[in-house]
Amino acid sequence: MNVFVVGDVHGCLKTFKTLVKDHWQPETDILVQLGDLINRGNFVAETVLYVQELQDKWRDRVIVLRGNHEQKCINFVESGRDRDWSWKSRKKTIASFQRQGMELSEVSEWLQQLPLVWETDSLCLTHAGIALTTDKPFDPNNKEGVLWTKSPLKNIGKLQVVGHTPMPGGIPRYNPDGHVWYIDTGVFLRRTLTGIKFDEQGQIIDRRSIPTDPRDI
């Protein structure tokens, strides 16, 4: 089974749908989205509904990981405040859910069940990566953990594929020191959304970066 890994979407539904429709083959590929599904774009709630529909249809063929923007929403619902979640972004995101009749508490419950990591024998997929700087990478509120870190990543003996840090020029980047692909290519910055397809040995079969649809931002 191949693995089609998609970077940070940020509510850019039109771009996301195009990438999935044109380059994901559910009969032969597992789709893994690396988190930051929400915030910033014009279609936050619709993006969540879209991946839920894909999961209902294809079940274990569609994996969505938790990103730091999902964690901001979770923390806000749990505590009533979160300094990491800006007022502007929070207001826009909550309004998007309200327009679709979605309760923020129920959305948060769904976000909480999103895994922090998805692995095969050759791949380790997280939102931000396993850093050299922490021994608690899977603490969701650890600023050096897999949801938040921007520090150099550890070579863990298998290929890491991460999002979180937008790459200049809308082009994914491979770092040989950590044996990691960085595939957040700044869809919310009007750059591109990237998907990379890997075979079972972790070798690249296909790589696609498509421009942000202007309707999304």
What average pLDDT does range 184-197 have in this prediction? 98
How does the average pLDDT of the chain come out, rounded?
A: 96
Q: Quote the pLDDT of residue 87.
A: 76
Domain that holds residue 10: 2-216
Distance CA 197, CA 104 (A): 33
Question: Order of strands, edge to edge, in the sheet holding 192-198?
Answer: 62-64, 29-33, 2-6, 192-198, 204-211
Number of domains making up the chain: 1
Q: Report helix, strand or coil for 124.
A: strand
C-beta of residue 54 within 8 angstroms of C-beta of residue 31? yes
**In degrees, to the nearest 5, what angle opens at C-alpha 64 toward C-alphas 133 and 116?**
30
Residue 216's pLDDT band (cuts 50, 70, 90): very high
pLDDT surpasses 80 at 115: yes
Task: Decide: 150 and 131 in contact? Cβ < 8 Å.
Answer: no
* Structure-model confidence comparison of residues 151 and 79, the more confident one: 151
Angle at 151 between CA 164 and CA 130, to 5 degrees: 75
Question: Which CATH number fits the domain that encloses residue 167?
Answer: 3.60.21.10
pLDDT in tens, 156-177: 999 999 999 999 999 999 999 9
